[in-house]
A = this chain, B = another copy of it.
Amino acid sequence: MRLPSHLGIEHGRLRIGGHDCTTLAEIYGTPLYVTDLDRIAGNFRRFHAALAAHYPQTQMLFAAKANGNLAVIRTLAAEGAGADVFSAGELELALRAGMKPERLLFNGSSKSPTDLALAVETGVRVSVDSLEELRQLDAVAAEAGKTAGIAFRVNPALEVPTHPKIATGLKTSKFGIPAEEITAAYAEALASEHVEPVGIHCHIGSQILEVEPFARAAEVMNGVAGEVTDLGVDLDFIDIGGGLGIPYHHDTDAAPTPEEYAAAVMPVFLRGIRECGIDPSLWVEPGRWLVGDSSVLLVRVNSVKRAHRTFVNVDAGFNLLVRPAMYDAYHEVLVAGRADAAADGTYTVAGPICETGDLLAQDRGLPAPQAGDTIAVLDVGAYGFAMSSQYNSRPRCAEVAVTGGKHAIMRRAESFDDITATMETPDRTA
């Protein structure tokens, strides 16, 4: 199996950032997320360089929903990243990680009054999703005696080749304002006293493995940029969103590189701003591409059952990695201690959750997994721990960071007491 450079196999054993996965599982216990922070920094630098080669005024905003661990966000902050934040919690994380408010965009289709007040208070830019939200934000900013810098989120009405649940730029999606209504929206924003339109924003979806949809979206944004510039908006930034996919199928997915992405998108973007006669910052919002391949989930085999299929029963399921159950997502799996051994049969890796759909990997060739073996699930850095739950009353596992040749806990494992900590038990009096 093709592996990215931070993973490797030595004497048959899988390593991440130079550390033996089986050893990490022994030291910290399983299940265990292991994240290579250096890989994240490297991914960031590569993506940024690919775009900056075309246009130096490029600002990368990490899509914070992909991975909410402070160690990850700190790593990206240190590289100069900002963040696309989707909630007060993500905003707080980004600020705490040391990101500058001017590099943050408060995104979201359903912001509460508290969210809007926080955005105004911290001075971050706001991606406004509806006219009603514009009016609410104007009122909140007026009350605070401030002016909020905004973009509207444009719905580009594009079909993209990805899972429908994460195709965010569809005509029928809940996100954004239809392109044909966008000029009127900016006109209203210009006329509002306490908001200042300074950007335009779109995002077409996630895990897209072709570059052409991004170029089409950039074309739509050129049209919007022209219209709003004519209207008198001084565009400080154009945010073209994120969505570049990663090769979850290591040997068969043809995933575009950041350089290929840049080669497809940047000429369109550059032509657009030249035609408008403007020089805004380019904002880009990768999430999965920066962190997805940085992590492995290490799980332990509890038992192997030969039934109508052969099940390898492991100690984590969709409580800790929901993508296979929720999106039919594919993740490569390896027996960590025999990572280059030949398969002896076909196995289905099943979690401990009480649902038939709790399968991490189906019908894979593996080398005779046995109770006690460590299995590594690859590419879990994005939408992995971030979407975890305590379903079946299972405490969530630890996360370990590997960096600079060392390893350390970046999130401790929960205990049973963490599950009950927020519970009160009122007596039933009836």
Contacts and interface: CB of A to CB of B under 8 A. Distances in A.
Interface stretch (A174-182, A192-200, A225-233): A174-182
A108 interface: yes
Interface in A75-95: 75, 78, 86-90, 92-93
A410 interface: yes
Contact of A387 (B389, B406, B427): B389
A314 B386 CA distance: 21
Nearest to A408: B426
Say how many copies of this protein the assembly contains.
2
Nearest to A401: B426
A371 to B, nearest CB: 7
B178 A355 contact: no
A112 interface: yes
A209 interface: no
Contacts of A175: 356
A390 B63 CA distance: 16
Contact of A111 (B74, B352, B353, B408): B352
Contact of A93 (B174, B393, B396): B393
Given A110-B314, A133-B303, A87 B428 contact: no
A358 interface: yes
A329 interface: no
A350 B109 contact: yes
A5 interface: no
Contacts of A38: 428, 430
A309 B428 CA distance: 44
A167 to B, nearest CB: 6
Interface residues of A, number: 115
Contacts of A86: 352-354, 392
B430 A404 contact: yes
Contacts of A422: 396, 411-414, 418
A181 to B, nearest CB: 8
Nearest to A181: B307
Given A164-B357, A311-B174, A403-B430, A132 B89 contact: no
A74 to B, nearest CB: 6
Contact of A65 (B63, B96, B167, B391): B391
Interface string A90-119: 101100100000000001111111000000
A429 B391 CA distance: 35
A211 to B, nearest CB: 21
A68 interface: yes
Interface in A136-167: 136, 155, 157, 164-167
Contacts of A273: none
A185 to B, nearest CB: 11
Contacts of A257: none
Given A89-B392, A108-B354, A403 B416 contact: no
A69 to B, nearest CB: 6
A423 B385 CA distance: 12
A174 B356 contact: yes
Please list the 8 inter-chain residue pairs (A to B) with the smallest Cβ-Cβ separation, ordered nearest first.
A165-B357, A89-B393, A110-B313, A404-B429, A404-B430, A130-B305, A110-B352, A408-B426
11 contacts: A38-B430, A71-B428, A86-B392, A129-B313, A130-B305, A132-B303, A133-B305, A155-B308, A388-B390, A389-B389, A410-B425
